[in-house]
Structure 1
Amino acid sequence: MSYDIIRHIPVTFKMGAPDGNHNSSIIDFYAGKSVFITGGTGFLGKVLIEKLLYSCKDIKNIYMLIREKRGVPAQERIKKMLDTVPFARLKERTQLLSKIVPIHGDLTSEYLGFDCFSLSCDH
């Protein structure tokens, strides 16, 4: 049985505000929205996550695909990531850091390493 996970992730490609004003800010665009990120522990991923949290305080959540690596559990990897330099200015803003939601998976695995239960697919 195959399951197309990508078609179940809501994606918005519309640029600008609904009224056609293309000067709408990035802050307004991400307000109340959630983002799914892969590669969040890499350099660019860290910078992106920090920038979204710092600049877009009304972002709903940042879902981050993360796997266990070299015996270090995903949750521990996120904890270590948050102790790095890019997150220094967010240290005291734990309410923003709590918006990072780890999604245990692996980009190189079929269905990103999810099983049918976590995908809520029919058996």
Structure 2
Amino acid sequence: MVAEFINTYGVTILYAVLTGVFGWIGLQIKRLAEKYINTKEKQAVCKTVVAAVNQLYYELDGPAKLQKAIVSASEMLAAKGITVTDLELRMLLEAAVNAAKGEGNAKIADAI
């Protein structure tokens, strides 16, 4: 009776289990890909915002520029459907500022 059940439904059960396993693996891969893409997008937005804020609001001091950058980056990321915490956004912006300063220093060093 058990052998008959396995012969009758074994392949169907195996297909169902494999479909579930591969579906789960696909979702995990999708989640990792979205995380990677979102991180790259966040970094690109922050780099753009830092350059733009520095260009547009050059007369403001550091904290005021940071506030402008936070508001701008938040709006741009929200428009793309990407959520970001305040702390993460602040760290990304600071990293973009540091990278921009590093590029400027490298250009100066190359000119000398």
Same fold (TM over 0.5): no
* More relative contact order, 1 or 2 (CA 8 Å, 6+ apart): 2
Give the TM-score taking structure 2 as reference length.
0.32
Structure showing the higher strand proportion among its residues: 1
Structure showing the higher helix proportion among its residues: 2
